[in-house]
Structure 1
Amino acid sequence: MYRMISFDLDGTLADTFPVILKSFHNTVQHFTGEQINDQQIFDTFGTNEQGMLRSLLPDVPLDIASDYFYDVYQQAHEDLRQPFPGIVDLLKDLTSHGIQVSLLTGKGQQACDISLKMLGLNGYFKPILVGSPERNVKTDNLKHLVATQQIAPTELAYVGDATSDIQASQAAGIHCFSAAWSPSVQLDALKAVNADIYESVAALREKLLG
């Protein structure tokens, strides 16, 4: 039986990708006057916003770019104030069944804080582990959860929407439930590497709680 379920944020708890893309497009255009395409932003995924900004705006001081980005991110998030349907009930139900709920995201702390507040999800997750500006640290963070929460790898599962989430989980010896309910999910790519895929929050709830 699982003692902890850890969740990804972007594309798993809420459809935040339009907010992310809008914020990076706005920030890059503000500092360079140029427009970039979505793929250029996706190519920087894996690091947190600090790492992404360093890649996209290497000539702009990071503190200045960051201040502007987080202001834009907060404003863009006004258009997204709700998680995916069923997420809040799932988190409550897991907790009521004695299963600890944690958050493990590639976002930086400031963007994570903004998203949780705007989505009304503060207080549901403990602990919360965030990303690094240097590299993808999800495998490290999953191992950290096992080491610090006194649980076996078989007692922890991760819920994420990307193939990189599956790879990070496998590298840590953790099972990954693939969340395929986001409009932007790459379903065929998930199916190529994971058989445990859920196209609705309700289906995952049924799997976890019966």
Structure 2
Amino acid sequence: MKAIVFDFDGTLANTLPICFYAFQNVFKEFDKKDLTSNEIKEMFGPSETGIIRNNLANLKKEEAIEYFYAKYSELHKSLVEVNPEIIELLKSLKGAGIKIGIFTGKAKRSLDISLKALDMEGLFDVIITGDDVIKPKPDPEGLLKALSLLGVKNSETIYIGDSDADVVAGVQANVYTVGVQWLPEYHTSTFSEQPDSIIKSVKEFKNSFKVKCL
């Protein structure tokens, strides 16, 4: 393998708590609605800005988007922990000469906030966000764009994610797919589209990586 592309939320960082917090505040403030975490999760797919534009009844959508980012930044450090095990994994992959990237549905602005807060800035060879694609996951557009920018073939690439949409995108892009359930909160407990591998811990992935990639 020459490249490994990661999803972000639920895969590289347990950002679901801060996502829920920010969205709940937005819908409470602008639509006077109290949404559960599951109700918010059902909106996932587009970027955060897309979710607000598609689901908020209030017409002040741009104001709501700015409010979302304020709330997303506000408690990020207290709600999202730095995961030293994942950062060490990313650095070890780079040290082994593997190109690493991100393909996420997140908007670039929120991803940049998270990368800075979690000490992940500058680690990735390519980053594709929800702002960079016309068709969000499960469409493989963003993953194929990442492969093109990395200069690797799909047969040389692994895509790692925690949701059905990740796995479907990987299958459609014809790359090796890994479904991970290694963080406290992840999107999918049972995949409807079977990934090539299901990994339960970073240690398990590292052991597998040594066999398959080195």
Q: Give the TM-score normalised by the residue count of structure 2.
A: 0.90
CA distance in 1, matches of 2:106, 2:160: 15
What runs of 5+ residues in structure 2 fail to find an aligned partner? none
Match of 2:44, as an amino acid? F
Match of 1:163, as an amino acid? D
- Aligned twin of 2:142: 141
Q: Does 1:196 align with 2:181?
A: no
Q: Displacement of 1:151 after TM fit?
A: 1.2
Q: Does 1:178 align with 2:167?
A: no
**Structure-2 change in CA distance of 1:128 and 1:186 (3 Å):** closer
Q: How does 1:156-175 map to 2 (within 5 A)?
A: 156-175=157-176
- Aligned twin of 1:65: 64
**8 Å CA contact 1:23, 1:76 repeated in 2:** no
Q: Give the 3-state SS of the residue equivalent to 2:75 in structure 1.
A: helix
What runs of 5+ residues in structure 1 fail to find an aligned partner? none
Q: Displacement of 1:93 after TM fit?
A: 0.6
**8 Å CA contact 1:94, 1:209 repeated in 2:** no
CA distance in 1, matches of 2:192, 2:38: 22
Q: How does 1:11-90 map to 2 (within 5 A)?
A: 11-90=10-89
Q: Displacement of 1:197 after TM fit?
A: 0.8
Q: Displacement of 1:195 after TM fit?
A: 4.8
CA deviations over 1:56-92 (Å, ceiling 9, x no partner): 3132322111111000000121214533341111111
**8 Å CA contact 2:163, 2:188 repeated in 1:** no
**Structure-2 change in CA distance of 1:146 and 1:206 (3 Å):** same
Greater CA drift, 196-205 or 57-66: 57-66
Alpha-carbon RMSD: 1.9
Greater CA drift, 34-43 or 113-122: 34-43
**8 Å CA contact 2:45, 2:105 repeated in 1:** yes
Q: Displacement of 1:129 after TM fit?
A: 0.5
Greater CA drift, 74-83 or 62-71: 74-83
Greater CA drift, 86-95 or 74-83: 74-83
Q: Give the 3-state SS of the residue equivalent to 1:5 in structure 2.
A: strand
Q: Give the TM-score normalised by the residue count of structure 1.
A: 0.91
CA distance in 1, matches of 2:196, 2:152: 25
CA deviations over 1:95-125 (Å, ceiling 9, x no partner): 1110011111110011100110111110111
